[in-house]
Amino acid sequence: MRCVQARSYEYGYLRRDERPRGSGPPGPGPTVRYMTESEASAGKSCGGCGAGCASVVLLVLAVAMALLAYASTDSTYPDVDPEKTARRLSGYSQDAYAALGIDRALEGGYVDVFTNNTYGSNDCYPDGLFSFADPPVDGAYRLYQEWTLSKVRKADALPALRGVRDRLEGKGWHITEYSKNEQIEEWSVEAERDGGYAIQVTWEPEYQRLSGFVSTSSCAMDPSWPEKKREQEEEQGYSGSYDEPDLDFPPALTPA
């Protein structure tokens, strides 16, 4: 049945008890028919469908949009040999280290939190609305190199940071920060460059520690991972998840 306004005298319906007082038989003009009690009840329930029906439609649309967003996620990354990325990071680390003006070499490897020079990697997750709930992409990596030099006094550390800032600017890096963090009492210089690379060198007076961190923001696929996965499955009957690129320690960092 059509839903119409109950008080439209020309084209609607009225309950019989709402008939205008003194109205006689319909004369010339539009015909008025009065609603019965059952029709009035049906009209109420028909009108009440609006909000409920609209909620259902909105829910269906929301689910459809979510599924579309999930289907459109992009989990593909270019194949890049981790060794190639590691060599580039090591070159950037060497540029910064040489600019420190500190006459000490730092060998590759891990001694403790005060003396180290290592590679590491972070997981890569699918892009899109549901990325936070997805497992990392198998075989993908985002590489970084970090190094730490101990027993660096303030008299050496602050000129070292100025030297790094000047060297990076001269090499085409964009300096994003060069300051002292008053809250955690440390000095740092940070920079980035085209290609998604970033570098940070920080001095912590509490520990007399000078640290460097060079990274790439771009994820890549390890081309050797499918072969390693196949070998694991043949030898062990299963393959574990991708951990990180299999790299040796970085080369030693040397003064200028």
State the chain's mean pLDDT as an integer: 79
Query: What residue ranges in the chain does DSSP mark as E strands?
Result: 13-15, 33-35, 109-112, 115-122, 140-149, 174-181, 186-193, 197-204, 209-216, 220-221
> Which pLDDT band holds residue 129 (cuts at 50, 70, 90)?
very low
**Are 63 and 154 in the same domain?**
no
Average pLDDT over residues 66-90: 74
Sequence-ordered list of residues with C-beta below 8 angstroms from that of 193, at least 6 positions apart, any chain: 172, 173, 174
Split into its structural domains, the chain has a count of: 2
**Are 98 and 191 in the same domain?**
yes
Pairing of strands 33-35, 13-15: parallel
In a domain, 106, yes or no: yes
Given this model, what pLDDT does residue 153 score?
Answer: 96
More confident residue, 69 or 219: 219
**How many angstroms from the chain centroid is the CA of residue 29?**
69
Average pLDDT over residues 99-110: 97
d(CA 175, CA 71): 38
**Are 21 and 66 in the same domain?**
yes
| Host domain of residue 19 | 13-71
**Are 67 and 149 in the same domain?**
no
**Are 55 and 122 in the same domain?**
no
Coil/strand/helix, residue 56:
helix
**Are 126 and 151 in the same domain?**
yes
**Are 61 and 159 in the same domain?**
no
53 conformational bin, left if phi > 0, alpha if psi -120 to 50, beta if neither: alpha
Q: Does residue 141 surpass a pLDDT of 90?
A: yes
Given this model, what pLDDT does residue 60 score?
Answer: 55
Backbone angles phi, psi at 147, to 5 degrees: -145, 155
**Are 153 and 40 in the same domain?**
no
In a domain, 6, yes or no: no
In a domain, 242, yes or no: no
> Which pLDDT band holds residue 74 (cuts at 50, 70, 90)?
very low
Residue owning tokens 């990274």: 215
Instruction: Give the sign of the dihedral formed by CA 100, CA 105, CA 107, CA 113.
Output: negative
Q: What is the 3-state secondary structure (H, E, C) of 202-254?
A: EEECCCCEEEEEEEECCCEECCCHHHHHHHHHHHHCCCCCCCCCCCCCCCCEC
> Which pLDDT band holds residue 194 (cuts at 50, 70, 90)?
very high
In a domain, 67, yes or no: yes
Backbone angles phi, psi at 200, to 5 degrees: -140, 130
Q: Rounded to two decimals, what is the model's pTM? A: 0.68
Pairing of strands 186-193, 197-204: antiparallel
Given this model, what pLDDT does residue 185 score?
Answer: 86
User: In Å, what is the CA distance from 42 to each residue of 32, 71, 252, 253?
Assistant: 19, 43, 85, 84
d(CA 103, CA 94): 13
**Are 152 and 30 in the same domain?**
no
Given this model, what pLDDT does residue 73 score?
Answer: 40
In a domain, 244, yes or no: no
More confident residue, 28 or 231: 231
Average pLDDT over residues 108-115: 95
Are 196 and 219 spatial neighbours (Cβ–Cβ below 8 Å)? no
**Are 87 and 173 in the same domain?**
yes
Biggest CA–CA distance in the chain, Å, is 112
Q: Does residue 47 surpass a pLDDT of 60?
A: no
**Are 171 and 61 in the same domain?**
no
